[in-house]
């Protein structure tokens, strides 16, 4: 599955430090980075059982989830991986407060769709349905049993564990289809973020396509309370009072302007900012402005990996580079 919606909402996390590179969780490092396409480490994919190069994102995510002692705030556009849901259920069952926010377009009872409903989905959604179906109808007989849902259906596993889940209709709207975050805050002290949705196609590749190893994606873990708290505050704006109750959840531009913040750590500096911003705000105050200022601060080299770059001010900035050398 491609990420055609990847550019709609910007979250800028610009790291000034050289992050550590390790497969195993290094709980002493402030910054840890992971890449599912890196060539220098190998792992066995948990669902297809294939040995391959890259970091095992699911292991990174579930290990971090299992570290939680008090709270887990998960804001991820789409989650389909049963092992992740099971890890969330396990920590909830030992008393950790787990809260989950997803995008309304992807928070569906996928396994309950009729063949006609599946046929009417977009091609992108059909791929996602097929992924969920592979997990949920584990024996592939076309019938979904209660036992199959209990082991393979994320929505069912979270609901069974009593984990509250909201999406961006919780503000009383029809939903924006733009809850594009992929982060989890652990105990208010550690945050994992990155480019990948928590799906098989995001972490490992399209499950039914043997040649697929997935889009090139990254995860970043930051063990620094100020950074984690910035994400916790973003979560709190979206969560409001949670499911039902008041309509005090806020999404997208209704979150108001959150300025860029800078955090200095012993291992380097982090600048971060949450989008989107209202179109009436000056560009330099937005995530685009933060990225642009970071690009302009380069003196001799920029290594840039992006799925798509459409913003004219950023391409203008890069267009100047050949002239400045």
Residue nearer to Ca ion on the CB measure, 8 or 247: 247
Residue nearer to Ca ion on the CB measure, 251 or 274: 251
E-only strand ranges, 87-188: 97-102, 165-167, 182-186
CB of 164 to Ca ion, least distance (A): 10
Q: In this structure, what token pair is assigned to residue 232? A: 């916790």
CB of 87 to Ca ion, least distance (A): 23
Residue nearer to Ca ion on the CB measure, 1 or 154: 154
CB of 118 to Ca ion, least distance (A): 16
| Alpha-carbon span 20 to 61, nearest angstrom | 17
| Alpha-carbon span 248 to 254, nearest angstrom | 11
CB of 89 to Ca ion, least distance (A): 21
How many residues sit close enough to Ca ion to count as binding (CB under 5 A)? 7
CB of 99 to Ca ion, least distance (A): 12
Residue nearer to Ca ion on the CB measure, 164 or 268: 164
Instruction: Report the site for Ca ion in 126-155 (rule: CB under 5 A).
Output: 137, 139, 141, 143
3-class secondary structure, 156: helix
**Of the candidates 100, 88, 70, the residue with the CA atom closest to the CA atom of residue 243:** 100
Q: Which helix (H) or strand (E) holds 135?
A: helix 123-136
Please name the residues in contact with 133: beta carbons below 8 A apart, sequence gap of 6 or more: 110, 111
| Alpha-carbon span 51 to 169, nearest angstrom | 40
Question: Which residue has 């799906």 as its token pair?
Answer: 199
CB of 145 to Ca ion, least distance (A): 6
Residue nearer to Ca ion on the CB measure, 30 or 166: 166
Instruction: Report the site for Ca ion in 225-244 (rule: CB under 5 A).
Output: 240-241
**Of the candidates 293, 292, 290, the residue with the CA atom closest to the CA atom of residue 275:** 290
CB of 251 to Ca ion, least distance (A): 12
| Alpha-carbon span 18 to 16, nearest angstrom | 7
| Alpha-carbon span 63 to 190, nearest angstrom | 13
CB of 262 to Ca ion, least distance (A): 32
291-302: b or e for each residue (b if 16 or more CB lie within 10 Å)?
Answer: bbebbeeeeeee
CB of 283 to Ca ion, least distance (A): 33
How far is CA 272 from its chain centroid? Answer: 16
Q: In this structure, what token pair is assigned to residue 239? A: 């969560």
Residue nearer to Ca ion on the CB measure, 141 or 303: 141
Judged by CB under 5 A, does residue 245 bind Ca ion? yes
Residue nearer to Ca ion on the CB measure, 43 or 251: 251
Q: In this structure, what token pair is assigned to residue 322? A: 């050949």
Q: In this structure, what token pair is assigned to residue 226? A: 């100020």
Residue nearer to Ca ion on the CB measure, 139 or 146: 139
Residue nearer to Ca ion on the CB measure, 245 or 259: 245
Residue 226 φ then ψ, to 5°: -65, -40
Contact positions toward Ca ion, by CB under 5 A? 137, 139, 141, 143, 240-241, 245
């Amino acid at each position: 599955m491609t990420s055609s919606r990847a550019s709609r909402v910007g979250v800028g996390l610009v790291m000034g430090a050289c992050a550590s590179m390790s497969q195993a969780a290094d709980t002493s490092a402030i910054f840890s980075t992971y890449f599912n396409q890196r060539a220098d480490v190998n792992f066995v994919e948990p669902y297809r059982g294939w040995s391959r190069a890259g970091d095992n994102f699911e292991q990174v995510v579930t290990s971090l989830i299992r570290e939680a002692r008090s709270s887990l705030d998960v804001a991820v556009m789409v989650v389909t991986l049963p092992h992740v849901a099971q890890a969330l259920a396990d920590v909830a069952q030992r008393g950790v407060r787990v809260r989950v926010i997803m995008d309304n377009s992807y928070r569906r009872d996928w396994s309950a769709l009729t063949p006609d409903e599946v046929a009417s989905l977009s091609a992108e959604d059909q791929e996602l349905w097929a992924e969920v179906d592979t997990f949920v109808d584990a024996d592939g007989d076309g019938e979904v049993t209660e036992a199959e849902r209990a082991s393979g259906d994320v929505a069912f596993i979270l609901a069974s564990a009593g984990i509250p889940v909201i999406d961006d209709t919780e503000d009383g709207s029809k939903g924006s289809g733009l809850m594009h975050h992929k982060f989890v805050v652990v105990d208010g002290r550690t945050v994992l973020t990155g480019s990948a949705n928590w799906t098989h196609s995001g972490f490992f590749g399209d499950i039914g396509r043997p040649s697929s190893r997935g889009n090139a994606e990254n995860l970043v873990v930051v063990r620094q309370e100020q950074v984690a708290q910035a994400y916790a505050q973003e979560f709190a704006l979206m969560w409001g009072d949670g499911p039902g109750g008041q309509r005090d959840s806020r999404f997208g531009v209704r979150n108001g302007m959150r300025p860029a913040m800078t955090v200095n750590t012993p291992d380097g500096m982090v600048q971060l900012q949450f989008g989107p911003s209202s179109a009436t705000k000056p560009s330099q105050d937005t995530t685009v402005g933060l990225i642009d200022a970071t690009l302009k601060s380069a003196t001799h080299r920029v290594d840039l990996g992006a799925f798509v770059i459409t913003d004219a001010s950023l391409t203008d900035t890069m267009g100047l580079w050949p002239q400045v050398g």
